[in-house]
Amino acid sequence: MNEEEYVVGIDLGTTKSSIARYDEHHQRVEVIKNKEGKERIESIVRFTKEGRIIGEEARRSSQGVIIYETKRFIGKKYDSEIEKEGKKLTYKIRRNEKNGEVEIGVNEEEWYSAEEIGNMIIRKLIEEAKEEYKIAPKKAVIAVPAHFKDEERKATIYAGEIAGLEIIGIINEPTAAAIAYGYDKKYEEGKTILVFDIGGGTFDITLIRTNKRNQRVIATEGETHLGGKDIDRKVGEIVMKKWKEIDKEKAEESYKRNKYKIEMISEEIKIILSTNQRCNVDLSEFYEEDNEEDIPNIEITRKEIEEASKDIFEKCIKCIERMFQDIELKNKGITKESVEEVILVGGTSKIPKIREMVSEYFDLIPNREIDPDQTVARGAALVGFDLFKEGLIKKNKFNKDHFNEDLIHNFIQTKEDLIKPKEDLIKPKEDLIKPKEELTEDIIKKGKKDIEEEEEEDIIKRKKEELNIPTYIDITSHSIQLKTKQGFSTLIKRFTRLPTKHIQEFKTSTEYSTTACFPIFEGEGNKEEELSYLETFTITGLPELPAGAVRFEVECEITLDGTIHIIARTIEPENLLLKEEIKVTNKNQKEKQQNLESLIQRSNLLDIQDIEFKKIKSLLAEKNRLLHQLKKLGKFNEIFLLNSWFSSNPNASSLQIKSFLDNFILSFPFLK
């Protein structure tokens, strides 16, 4: 693969994010480390007067406004549940009056969508990749929770596009994990695996049937608001309760002033208690250094956390039960006893109670051979490389440069291997080794013809097998339904294998109607409030005929990455021949695509401002170095000149500051 064309896999998490790349030369997946040597960054953006801070540094800093957990809002409408969620945060959220989605507030004038915050985190990941490989990636596959609906998936793609990436695919997080696991372990035989994926903010379970060559998703279920952060808040409640019992005034004051810091401490406690039975809570930073005797001595045990988080653990089990109760699985005879292996994915899966709970439910010891933090990004990188190669195969299929002698010989040899008589298999090895056939004009001509006639799918299959990357067969996470006067009609059921295409017939239900409307919804149930509205499309120009006289054929197609295409055409009267075709993109998504360029420019401007702030910060450090040197030399006039310039030019640019400092140093030889 050309270095300029490498593809990355991105795990855009609620609390942590990572980026990976498949190294074709060494045939391995590399999770890209940041400057601190870590393979994941914090999904945090902090807005300060000196610009934005993203990642681990944002977590450590105490300046400005901190924005976190925005994955929970991506592609979501602002409703009562979101409003309730917002009250747990340290920043403000509100309803966007234009599209009804969630807006995130830095201050009264500065508001961002969840996609824009996601874009900032993705740009940070791109920066890490560029640091490692000297060139930024242009293409990516992003992993999303399996239970994400169409709006959330498209919003995630949009975040990547704002970051300047071409998103060549979206993959469900548990499927990505299974692909990474399959690549590492090389499945030798068929096995039914359950991927239990619990991260910082989302929870997915996915049932997968594996064999040596592929992973086929059978069923999936999940919660988009369930994860480690919910446990952190339970820990925080225990901390605050015990703290108030000892020092109520200080506890309440600290909570109001630095709520996020307490959440950080709660997360650290949770991590410590994953390997220890008890831990002491460090509250020293909330007290003066000279008043150490006032610092409360608080101890929390693992048992307390497990008891407080009981409802969260129960939700996980109920989610698993809900999946196995699905009628489609029951009809296939698939039960929890069918599960032969459980793979734990996501940082929260490291909690001992979760491992114990899963083990008891399935009567299996969960597989702990894979790194739960890296596996999703690794799987996404494998899929990205696979899709990229597939694109090259299609692109080069009829390229004249593609027809080189080695390719033609290998192609002919492959064909011969496929039709080789069985008796050849028992011949001595040396008898099977044939000299490379001389390529005459006729053979080259025939080779070209054979390649051109070979089905594209066969070429792709053959070439992809050479890569040794497991393929995957995914399913629909939600049903696609069409609303009629009689109620809702399911076009495609959930758990349907992807890609898929289904056709159904409908007829007009209104007398002498000249239009036919087709509202499309996503989800389970038969009530509108239980479903997510996607889009309505209309066929116009119908003849004024009695109800039922005009019949339609509605074709619904869903691609492997979940993109929905719908075609409606008239089939009676036969001479009518009306047709409407759409790629499902609702009004909000259309407006977003129209605004994409302006959001890219806004994001680029923020990047430029951040670079400028960093330059100024570095130059101010140089100024302080000069002041220190001048004080040591007793040069008070020079100190006055230096400070006076900065006092008179508070809004100077980095270029102006650098120019002044360069001239200042030149003016005083003793500073050189």
> Both 605 and 560 in a single domain?
no
> Both 417 and 431 in a single domain?
yes
**Where a domain ends, among 559, 585, 611?**
585
The CATH number for 257's domain is 3.90.640.10
The confidence score (pLDDT) of residue 279 equals 93
pLDDT at residue 220 greater than cutoff 70 = yes
Q: For residue 403, tell me if it sits in a domain.
A: yes
> Both 630 and 574 in a single domain?
no
> Both 549 and 572 in a single domain?
yes
The whole-angstrom separation of Cα 586 and Cα 99 is 11
> Both 409 and 498 in a single domain?
no
Q: For residue 613, tell me if it sits in a domain.
A: yes
Q: How many CB atoms lie within 10 A of CB 369?
A: 8
Tokens standing for residue 265:
């401490």
User: What are the tens digits of pLDDT across the range 580-609?
Assistant: 777 776 555 566 667 888 889 999 999 999
Q: Determine the 3-state secondary structure of 652 from DSSP.
A: coil
> Both 439 and 514 in a single domain?
no
Q: For residue 625, tell me if it sits in a domain.
A: yes
**Where a domain ends, among 585, 602, 635?**
585
**Where a domain ends, among 543, 565, 585?**
585
Q: For residue 14, tell me if it sits in a domain.
A: no
> Both 491 and 514 in a single domain?
yes
User: What are the tens digits of pLDDT across the range 386-424?
Assistant: 888 776 555 554 343 433 444 333 333 333 333 333 333
Mean pLDDT of 439-465: 54
Range of the domain at 452: 397-473
The whole-angstrom separation of Cα 388 and Cα 140 is 9
State how many domains the chain has. Answer: 4
Q: Which amino acid is at 442?
A: D
Q: Which of 537, 530, 532 is nearest to 521 (CA)?
A: 532
User: What are the tens digits of pLDDT across the range 331-352?
Assistant: 788 899 999 999 999 989 999 9
DSSP 132: H
User: What are the tens digits of pLDDT across the range 256-289?
Assistant: 888 899 999 999 999 999 999 999 998 988 887 6
Global confidence as pTM: 0.78
DSSP 563: -
> Both 404 and 440 in a single domain?
yes
> Both 495 and 455 in a single domain?
no
pLDDT at residue 150 greater than cutoff 90 = no
Pairing of strands 166-172, 139-144: parallel
Tokens standing for residue 652:
């100077």
Residues 6+ apart with CB under 8 A from 605: none
Q: Where are the alpha helices (DSSP H) in 74-192?
A: 80-86, 114-133, 150-162, 173-185
Q: Which of 67, 49, 51 is nearest to 59 (CA)?
A: 67
Q: How many CB atoms lie within 10 A of CB 157?
A: 22
> Both 610 and 538 in a single domain?
no
Q: For residue 506, tell me if it sits in a domain.
A: yes
| CB contact burial 106-142 (16+ within 10 A = b; e otherwise) | beeeeebbbbbbbbbbbbbbbbbbeeebeebbebbbb
Q: How many CB atoms lie within 10 A of CB 431?
A: 8
Q: For residue 542, tell me if it sits in a domain.
A: yes
DSSP 33: P
Quote the percentage of the chain above a pLDDT of 70. 84
Q: For residue 423, tell me if it sits in a domain.
A: yes
Residues 6+ apart with CB under 8 A from 194: 205, 206, 207, 208, 320, 339, 341, 342, 343, 362
Q: For residue 73, tell me if it sits in a domain.
A: no
> Both 488 and 551 in a single domain?
yes
Mean pLDDT of 86-110: 93
> Both 519 and 569 in a single domain?
yes
Q: Which of 374, 438, 387, 431 is nearest to 408 (CA)?
A: 438
User: What are the tens digits of pLDDT across the range 492-533?
Assistant: 988 888 888 999 888 888 888 888 888 889 888 888 888 888
Strand positions, DSSP E, 161-284: 166-172, 191-198, 203-210, 214-223, 278-281
User: What are the tens digits of pLDDT across the range 34-44?
Assistant: 888 899 999 99
The whole-angstrom separation of Cα 211 and Cα 209 is 7
- H or E element, residue 517: strand 515-522
Tokens standing for residue 589:
């998504």
The CATH number for 492's domain is 2.60.34.10
Terminal Cα distance for the chain, rounded: 49
pLDDT at residue 464 greater than cutoff 60 = no
